[in-house]
Chain A
Amino acid sequence: MAQIVPLGGSVAITIADYIVAAAIFNEANNSIQNNILTINKQPYKFDTLTWGTSSTGTFSAATWDVLALSGSIGLVNQWPASSSFQDSNVQGGYIAIQGYFGRNGYTSTATANFTDSNGFFNAMSPAQTTKAVTADNSVLLFHAKIKSVILPGTYRLIFTLTDGSTSKTRIIDVVVSAYPNTLPGDGWL
């Protein structure tokens, strides 16, 4: 188990074998309850949303796992021009997930696979989805790019870490719900 430290004090989830992060379009504040991450944007208004932490932890020889994960969801054309992931011609969305994992003093391999229940997913950056972890406290960064607005559905990133003959799998689901939590006619109820 590892802890994601909140950004700005508003987000905190615990990584178990299975993580559910739900991006629910909600005009209220972001919140986390029962491992559900609620993000406060409507689908057609997505700006960049970020969760998790950018700080690394420390691995020991005994620690072999995902130490922390962070990520963001947003529009491809909002990436800095200097980024290889930037594409001003794509009015689409991206989901980026950054993982800190490995084992001090050992070489590990991390593989990332992305699925999109809407079937829009079309690119992963880096295109090579398997990376070797050779240094301590390695940071591996994967971005999934979708040539569409981010639609309701399930966006799943699966990390598989292999160290010698053993492997571990960690799954992150970003579940985008179909309706905002905003109540139409709230003022009349």
Chain B
Amino acid sequence: MTDTPSSQRVVRSRGSRLARREALTFYLLISPWLLGLLLFVLGPIIASLGFSLTRWDMLSPPEPVGLRNYARMIEDRLFWQSLSVTVRYTLMYVPSELIGGLLLALLMNQVSVRGIRAIRTIYYMPSVLSGVAFVVVWMWLFHPEAGLINATLATVGIRGPRWLADPNTALTALWLMSLWGLGRTAVIYLAGLRSIPRELYEAAAMDGAGAGQAFRHVTLPMLTPTIFFNLVLSIIATFQTFTSAFVATNGGPLDSTLFFVLYLYRKAFQDFQMGYASALAWVLFLIILGLTLLVVRSGQWWVYYEGEQQ
């Protein structure tokens, strides 16, 4: 990670007027985005840190309370419940996304070059659909009596669970629902698979490697940067799960799907506790930051970059 490819270093060392002009153009071109970030993202982020030290119902002026909001979390049963739901869901979803996405990509990779475009589009489609619309469709599928899933199970004599209406199965149902979006990960894997040089497989085949060995010793190591990328993105996104639970269960039944961000939203906009909600947001930020750093650190042990010195 620390080694930069040599080509880049050459450009940088030149430091010519041309390079400086190019850099200036670059910053000019991204300045609208950068300004947007500073004003509409960074500003509110910093403001929320300030609000997290206050009691604020958004109707009357905020009143400073020091670190009380943070201390309050320790005794807040629902804080721990929402954290537990989020962590359990992450442990379910991230591995399934990484492995499922890879399997899907390997399957897609078998298809001819002409077929791949259609297949890729079909699998990616759910990722562009509106989150709410697709959750609503799944809610119908999961309906305990009239839903397609339980109706299908009933034809073979199985009495299906009550899915979203049962605290024992609601989180699992949301997880099954989310697997619909595997295509997004698979498409990234597919790009990774396509960029593995054919020569490596030829060399492996000449050395007598079977399909399994080629996968283990060529495909997998060459894919580690892609896996790494997907892992980081997946963890960050999963910790912020909101839409599916907000639309399908609103955290229930019995708080079994009370995700962290859903609890945060509830505190802010239903309970008028913007100060506490801001504190929750900062705790979530620190958790995600910590996890991401941990994963990035671990990368040096298992991520292989081509051209990197071993």
A joins B in a complex = no
**A contact set with B: CB distance below 8 Å:** none
